[in-house]
Structure 1
Amino acid sequence: MGREGNRPSVKRDQAEAINNVEYDSILGTKSIPSLYFRFALAGIMANLILGVVAVIDGHFVSYFSVLEVEGIGIGFTVMVITRMVGVLFGIGAGAVISLRLGKGKIEEGRSIMGQTLWFTLFFSILLAVIGLVYEKELMILFGASSESLSYAVEYSRLLWITLPITILAVVLSILTTIDEKPLLSMNSWLLAALVAGATEWVLVTKFDMGMMGSSWANTIAQSVPALLIFYFWFGKTKLKPKMKDIKIKLKKIGEVVWTGFASFSGQLMMFFAIIFMNNLLQEYGGGLHVAAFTIQNGYVTNLLALAALGGMTGLQPIISYNYGAGNYDRVRDAIKFGLIFTTAFFVITTAMLIIFADPIVTFFAGGDPELHQLGVWTTIIFNSLFTFNAISMLISGYYEAQERNWTATFINVSKMVLFAFPFMFIFPKFWGVDGIWYSFPAAEIPGVLIALYFIKKEFKYLNEMSANKEFKYLNEMTTKKLSL
């Protein structure tokens, strides 16, 4: 009778043993530099391709009126929401799934992926409906003036309608990288860029659709990677979603959301910063400064931010898998290599941006001398210390990859709440509208110092864990030899 009563638990143990098999992954075997260049560079390239679409779009937009550019800048905030929610679910699920795979829990990882996709779809549809119902109120909240409101609403409407698709595209591209297919993810964005560029050229130059041509191009650029769902349905992957995953377990989604909250909080803080910047620039400098911010937020700084995000998301599966597998020496080597590469990459990139600020802004200013002059100055000031931003983002992503969410969130939020937001309201009292532009680079200095403080402690911890693991291994080998 006792044996009969134990059968269910025995079956559960057998099922767990089947599911918790060793997961054959290159993330735990290949050299760290090789993995980094395969995953992180693919992530950077994928996002840079998306950024190039924005640059091409910016060139077309430059020939619109300043008022239209102002409206586009306000309406573009919807794209920030897309990235924000996509990062929440995509990075959160990616870290959770990779940790499961590192521990050999393949079926659990697959189930989490399926549930995440369904929940993302339901949540984003609800968000799109809210956006469409309150579109005017939201555009005013985002900083639209009475003159630019109609342009902002017109530009953003299509972005709201397609919001569920564009959010799923971000999530799927991240999960494709987690499934060790970074080049497939990158190629999906490349296809999106080609289709979007051709579409905008046709709609703006041939059909004279103006801002709506730009809106359609951005929608297509953000939507095409959603086709990656066919890879997960029909491709060779252990993460194939199933219809039964529509039965969502809120505990699992809660873990995904909490894990992705650090990156989401960074995007959320930037979302609020954009609203504050648009409103403050409108108050202190007028529409010309809002248009100049559109060049930074929509095109120049956006390109840098996309590259930093791509590098972080590319590094995370390496960190998550090896941390889950207990390979602490590989975790240490991965974050060290990532920091060195990130620093070198963005020092060179921002230096080139500053040197060539004049021709870069000419590409977006459309022959407006006032906008061009202001754009060159803001490009140099606003992006001068972006390397610090990229380093902070990478370190926050490192902690996020291990589900150490309080630390990751603190790194992201403290910079904005303790420094950037106060500076935005204090600096204009001394330097007028210029002070608003100074606030962000000034906040990067204490922000990166906080991040470096945490990662310095982390290197000490990883060294200790690696040494303990090696000692334990040697002790076990010695015991085996003595027993023989």
Structure 2
Amino acid sequence: MAKVSSQDLGNQPIGKLLIKQAVPASIGILVMSLNILVDTIFVGNWIGSTAIAAINVVLPVSFFIAALGMSIGVGGSSMISRALGASNTTKALKTFGNQITLTAVITILFVVFGLLYIDDIIPAFGGKGAIFQPAKTYYRIVLYGVPILALCMMGNTVIRAEGKPKFAMYAMMFPSVGNLVLDILFIKVFDFGMAGAAWATTGSYVLCFVFILWFFLSKNSELKINFKHFGLDLPIVKEISSLGFVTLSRQAIVSVTYLLMNNILFDLGGETSVTAYAIAGRMLMFALFPVYGITQGFLPIAGFNYGAEKYSRVKATIITAIKYGMLLAAIIFVFLMIFPEDITKFFTKDAEVLKEAPSAMRWVFAATPIIAVQLIGAAYFQAIGKAIPALLLTLLRQGIFFIPLIFILPKFYGELGVWMAFPISDILATIVTAYFLYREVKLNLLTKAAE
């Protein structure tokens, strides 16, 4: 493999560079999403449709704790990208060491809390009735591995900040493949049921951690830290926290959304509606993988060039990323509008779920073609270190617009109102993001580029 340097982020043509960064990111996200998708299919067919709902109840809790690692990773990686762009290796190394310390300490504390209050947390997130016991079994085992997952998610963002997207892709692929193999072994062969699904997931986290540890210890990484870098530095912690809070807030909103949706849908339609949401949610993670890949590829390019004061390249990166993202999103939209019934059949044979899920899926993805604008716009402000606008734009879609809508619309349209909230919030968030992004490019980037 040819030697890759972070300096390539400031020199190569934008279109070529974005593809080079985004394709591995997309493949990694695809494999990870396929893992979640196939895992859900295995669980639905080998354990039952209630098991799908049970996993959907646990996901927001485990993902929120893991997102602590991702938020520390994204916040620190923005700093690392800009530090490398400004040739400040000392700050990049200290930032990475602080990321590791923060991730390990904070996630372990949250896991202890999560295990102590297990019987209160699961019902609060919709784990009621027949869903409670399988959700509890899955939750307890998966939570043991969540600190490892958090370290993996943190490390993966740092690998991208170094300009090494292929290694970041491998870090996502190995555990995904491993999880599927362990699923077959623990669920199908040994018939461990929900416990088998949980141990397969936890085992996959360990595989990911081993690979990422190898990367940073090998000659492939530019960041060679030692024990002095692990000591917390207050200014660095503050900057990591302010930028990482954007990602954490986004995941917190996702977790709150799952909590609210599971409870609202359980009240409106019982286990069937919760399962339909779980299937639509899995497709939401899976189908948009190319757009998320573009966003992941965009972040280090924008951050590095902003740090290097190459503002015309930053503007070109924004425009190119949005064009690519919208094209891919339009293709995804057409596919999902045509085949939702066939997609649902992969997950379950339950007649009630087969009746409800396709319609829900069409509503969930109705505004997909424009979603790239919102994702890239929010990511831009995070990449250049502007925490407040990044936070507000990140919260627009699922927080500021979506959550009020799922309370208001069902009063007029019943369960249909819950599904209608998805495209309406997407459209409103995209309009607001487009306005602020245009204003930022005009007043900040173009002014600086002309100086």
Question: TM-score of the superposition, structure 2-length normalised?
Answer: 0.94
Q: Which amino acid aligns with 1:259?
A: L
Q: In structure 2, what is the equivalent of residue 258 of structure 1?
A: 242
Q: 1:323 to 1:221 in 2, by over 3 A?
A: same
Q: In structure 2, what is the equivalent of residue 103 of structure 1?
A: 86
Compute the displacement of 1:83 (Å).
Answer: 4.6
Q: Is the 8 A contact 2:250 2:394 kept in 1?
A: yes
Matched, 1:205 2:185: no
User: Aligned ranges for residues 59-458 of structure 1 at < 5 Å?
Assistant: 59-63=41-45, 64-227=47-210, 228-297=212-281, 299-304=282-287, 307-365=290-348, 367-458=349-440
Q: 1:86 to 1:354 in 2, by over 3 A?
A: farther
Alignment counterpart, residue 38 of structure 2, candidates 53, 56, 63: 56
Q: Which amino acid aligns with 1:90?
A: G
- Count of equivalent residues: 444
Q: Deviations over 1:198-255 (max 9, x none)?
A: 1111212111122222222333344432221222123243312211122111321121
Compute the displacement of 1:82 (Å).
Answer: 4.4
SS at match of 2:63: helix
Q: Following the alignment from structure 1 to structure 2, what is the Cα–Cα distance between the partners of residues 242 and 119?
A: 16
Q: 1:350 to 1:222 in 2, by over 3 A?
A: farther
Q: Is the 8 A contact 1:82 1:166 kept in 2?
A: no
Q: Deviations over 1:423-443 (max 9, x none)?
A: 100111111111111112211
Q: Following the alignment from structure 2 to structure 1, what is the Cα–Cα distance between the partners of residues 381 and 411?
A: 37
Deviates more, 1:143-152 or 1:87-96: 143-152
Q: 1:24 to 1:380 in 2, by over 3 A?
A: closer
Q: In structure 2, what is the equivalent of residue 477 of structure 1?
A: none
Q: Following the alignment from structure 1 to structure 2, what is the Cα–Cα distance between the partners of residues 393 and 430?
A: 30
Q: Which amino acid aligns with 1:72?
A: I
SS at match of 1:237: coil
SS at match of 1:76: helix
Q: Following the alignment from structure 1 to structure 2, what is the Cα–Cα distance between the partners of residues 247 and 115?
A: 7
Q: Is the 8 A contact 2:65 2:111 kept in 1?
A: no
SS at match of 1:239: coil
Q: Following the alignment from structure 2 to structure 1, what is the Cα–Cα distance between the partners of residues 393 and 81?
A: 22
Q: Which amino acid aligns with 2:147?
A: P
Greater Rg, structure 1 or structure 2? 1
Q: Is the 8 A contact 1:48 1:306 kept in 2?
A: yes
Q: Following the alignment from structure 1 to structure 2, what is the Cα–Cα distance between the partners of residues 75 and 263?
A: 20
Q: Following the alignment from structure 2 to structure 1, what is the Cα–Cα distance between the partners of residues 250 and 288?
A: 11
Q: Which amino acid aligns with 1:434?
A: L
Q: Following the alignment from structure 2 to structure 1, what is the Cα–Cα distance between the partners of residues 355 and 251?
A: 29
Q: 1:86 to 1:296 in 2, by over 3 A?
A: farther
Q: Following the alignment from structure 1 to structure 2, what is the Cα–Cα distance between the partners of residues 424 and 95?
A: 33
Compute the displacement of 1:329 (Å).
Answer: 0.6
Q: Which amino acid aligns with 2:356?
A: L
Q: Is the 8 A contact 2:175 2:208 kept in 1?
A: yes
SS at match of 2:121: helix
Q: Which amino acid aligns with 1:238?
A: E
Q: 1:412 to 1:292 in 2, by over 3 A?
A: same
Q: Is the 8 A contact 1:136 1:149 kept in 2?
A: no
Compute the displacement of 1:125 (Å).
Answer: 1.0
Q: Gaps spanning 5+ residues in structure 2: where? A: none
SS at match of 2:187: helix
Q: 1:350 to 1:220 in 2, by over 3 A?
A: farther
Q: Deviations over 1:265-296 (max 9, x none)?
A: 22211111111000100111111101111112
Q: 1:251 to 1:305 in 2, by over 3 A?
A: farther
Q: Deviations over 1:145-181 (max 9, x none)?
A: 1332111110111111111101111111111111121
Q: Gaps spanning 5+ residues in structure 1: where? A: 1-22, 469-484
Q: Which amino acid aligns with 1:327?
A: K
Q: Following the alignment from structure 2 to structure 1, what is the Cα–Cα distance between the partners of residues 51 and 354?
A: 16
Q: Following the alignment from structure 1 to structure 2, what is the Cα–Cα distance between the partners of residues 386 and 79?
A: 27
Q: 1:275 to 1:250 in 2, by over 3 A?
A: same
Identity level (%): 24
Q: Following the alignment from structure 1 to structure 2, what is the Cα–Cα distance between the partners of residues 53 and 143?
A: 24
Q: Following the alignment from structure 1 to structure 2, what is the Cα–Cα distance between the partners of residues 323 and 371?
A: 48
Q: Which amino acid aligns with 2:125?
A: F
Q: Deviations over 1:54-111 (max 9, x none)?
A: 1111211222333332222112223421452232111111101111111111111111
Q: Following the alignment from structure 2 to structure 1, what is the Cα–Cα distance between the partners of residues 104 and 228?
A: 15
Q: Is the 8 A contact 1:46 1:187 kept in 2?
A: yes
Measured on the aligned residues, the alpha-carbon RMSD in Å equals 1.7
Compute the displacement of 1:416 (Å).
Answer: 3.4
Deviates more, 1:337-346 or 1:139-148: 139-148
Q: 1:395 to 1:304 in 2, by over 3 A?
A: farther
Compute the displacement of 1:411 (Å).
Answer: 0.8
Q: Is the 8 A contact 1:67 1:147 kept in 2?
A: yes
Q: Is the 8 A contact 2:329 2:371 kept in 1?
A: no
Compute the displacement of 1:24 (Å).
Answer: 6.7
Q: Is the 8 A contact 2:288 2:329 kept in 1?
A: no
Q: Which amino acid aligns with 2:59?
A: F
Compute the displacement of 1:306 (Å).
Answer: 5.1
Question: TM-score of the superposition, structure 1-length normalised?
Answer: 0.88
Deviates more, 1:368-377 or 1:73-82: 73-82
Q: In structure 2, what is the equivalent of residue 47 of structure 1?
A: 29
